[in-house]
């Protein structure tokens, strides 16, 4: 079930929330927890009930492993590795067995029937959550003893299919709020506002911008060469779609969580406003990068054992990140490219950047943001396409190997300016991937929202809608700085966004990380 669907917004969510509130008001906190667990399992099983057995087996196995690790029995390290292999084995079979079979066939020259494996929903998310729980239990010998709370930690439906990757120490203690009779009314207002804004980001922006990217698959598969302008326009649309899609779902998850009295961790903080690739990845998918830093980077030594070890750990983090995203050489190459960029960024900071760093100016911020954007979009060409050939074809266009001609359908819009461009040598030609002026206008509006408007964390800063440790200076970094307050003005604005979103929801496009 998708958040941006009529059955969820008009059926499932009102029912789940209404019964939950009724039980809380009766002082039945335990019953409210059990009801929310049942609702979350129904939410997960909506797409394919068979996979309920898999997620329950994963939850039950990890809960038992946690209790065993707390007993301080001999060979605890063996128990830890058994638990890790249990999780990675399940994830590896469903997500990577088909790819490994293809690799084996390529190496051996043999041919086997492709494995008919359906990828379960959210298996990447809940596997990482349980790995963090197992490792931390092994370190502290303090497992979660309440089975209902542990189950909710994994299947709590606001974060189940879209993230963020929650940490047990941050989420499970909040379930005790279910025993409080009432929550502050302002939390409900903030929760609904976040839900509406996230919904609008998904169906109002991401799905419309993404329409300019989807058709590119067929063009590249047929061998069409895209010009410099086309390639960058299409990949900009792709980058915007991913951000508004994923961050929109993160906002919806945060908003729905608040309706049940649970504050989610922050997962995005205006990554495109970053002024370096390293800062970009500190702002993007924050919970995933936090997990990788805690359970991959630091165990490999981090920066404690010299530069080479640090660079090895950084590359390993991004390779694991690539493999986590999917099974294919394109994901591995993407991880290696991003890892290389981050190593170059680190070398620059250590050896070439002036000390002290130059004072931040508007010109430097614009240049830094442009660099961070380019360093994100270039590897994205390999990530987004099903074959490496299509990715390289797009990259060739972005590097100018297919010419710099502007789309011919823009010429009438330019008028006298277009005539002048031709006189100075600018050429216009057929551009099958370009939709002309509507595409330019849509991308311009989306970019303006991205760079000029505050993010939801800044908009609702007075009410702390998520768990975060953001520097207060960053909360005021946007050019336009409105703040949300309960008022008629905001009610009208959000009502309009909700109305537009509901009208656009008839053309459902799946969430980017659906079945992930």
Residues with a known catalytic role: 325
Kindly report whether the peptide bond that precedes residue 164 is cis, defined as omega within 30 degrees of 0.
Answer: yes
Largest CA distance in the chain: 82
Closest CA to 379 of 414, 346, 334, 342: 334
Identify the residue whose tokens are 């990757």: 165
d(CA 136, CA 143): 8
Integer angstrom CA distances of residue 55 from 122, 175, 354: 9, 20, 51
Closest CA to 291 of 208, 172, 380, 169: 169
Closest CA to 324 of 375, 285, 279, 278: 285
Q: Is there a contact between 269 and 247 (Cβ–Cβ < 8 Å)?
A: no
d(CA 359, CA 354): 11
Could you give the angle at the alpha carbon of 500 between the alpha carbons of 246 and 15, nearest 5°?
70
Instruction: For 17, list phi and psi in degrees, rounded to 5.
Output: -70, -40
d(CA 430, CA 436): 11
Q: Is there a contact between 338 and 318 (Cβ–Cβ < 8 Å)?
A: yes
Helices 488-504 and 185-199, interaxial angle, to 10°?
Answer: 40
């Amino acid at each position: 079930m998708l958040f941006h669907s009529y059955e969820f917004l008009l059926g499932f969510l009102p029912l789940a929330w209404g019964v939950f509130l009724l039980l809380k008001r009766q002082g039945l906190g335990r019953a409210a927890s059990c009801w929310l667990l049942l609702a979350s399992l129904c939410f997960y099983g909506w797409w394919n009930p068979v996979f309920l057995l898999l997620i329950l087996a994963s939850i039950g196995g990890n809960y038992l492993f946690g209790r065993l690790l707390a007993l301080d029995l001999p060979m605890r390290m063996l128990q830890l590795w058994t638990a890790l292999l249990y999780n990675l084995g399940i994830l590896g079979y469903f997500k990577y067995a088909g790819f490994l079979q293809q690799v084996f066939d390529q190496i051996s020259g043999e041919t086997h029937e492709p494995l008919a494996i359906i990828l379960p929903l959210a298996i990447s998310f809940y596997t990482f959550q349980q790995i963090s729980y197992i490792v931390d239990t092994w370190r502290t010998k303090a497992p979660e003893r309440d089975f209902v709370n542990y189950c909710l930690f994994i299947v709590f439906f606001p974060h189940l299919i879209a993230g963020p990757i929650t940490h047990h120490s941050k989420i499970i203690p909040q379930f005790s709020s279910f025993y409080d009779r009432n929550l502050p009314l302002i939390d409900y207002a903030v929760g609904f506002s976040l839900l509406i804004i996230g919904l609008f980001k998904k169906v109002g922006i991401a799905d419309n911008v993404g329409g300019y990217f989807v058709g590119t698959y067929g063009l590249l598969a047929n061998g069409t060469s895209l010009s410099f302008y086309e390639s960058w326009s299409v990949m900009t649309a792709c980058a915007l779609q991913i951000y508004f899609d994923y961050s929109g779902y993160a906002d919806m998850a945060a908003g729905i969580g608040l309706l049940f009295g649970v504050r989610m961790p922050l997962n995005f903080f205006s990554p495109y406003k970053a002024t370096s690739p390293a800062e970009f990845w500190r702002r993007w998918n924050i919970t995933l990068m936090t997990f990788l830093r805690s359970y991959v980077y630091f165990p490999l030594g981090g920066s404690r054992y010299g530069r080479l070890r640090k660079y090895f750990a950084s590359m390993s983090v991004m390779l694991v990140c690539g493999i986590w995203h999917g099974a294919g050489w394109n994901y591995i190459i993407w991880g290696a490219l991003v890892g290389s960029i981050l190593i170059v960024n680190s070398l620059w900071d250590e050896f070439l950047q002036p000390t002290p760093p130059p004072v931040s100016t508007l010109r430097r911020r614009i240049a830094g943001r442009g660099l961070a954007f380019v360093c994100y979009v270039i590897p994205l060409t390999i990530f987004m396409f099903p074959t490496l050939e299509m990715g390289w074809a797009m990259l060739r266009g972005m590097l100018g190997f297919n010419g710099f001609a502007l789309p011919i359908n823009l010429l009438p819009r330019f008028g006298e300016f277009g005539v002048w461009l031709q006189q100075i040598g600018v050429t216009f030609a057929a551009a099958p991937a370009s939709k002309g002026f509507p595409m330019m206008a849509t991308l311009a509006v989306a970019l303006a929202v991205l760079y000029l408007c505050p993010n939801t964390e800044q908009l609702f800063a007075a009410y702390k809608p998520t768990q975060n440790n953001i520097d207060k200076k960053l909360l005021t970094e946007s050019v336009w700085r409105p703040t949300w307050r309960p008022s008629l003005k905001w009610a009208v604005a959000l009502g309009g966004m909700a109305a537009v979103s509901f009208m656009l929801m008839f053309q459902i496009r799946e969430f980017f990380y659906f079945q992930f």
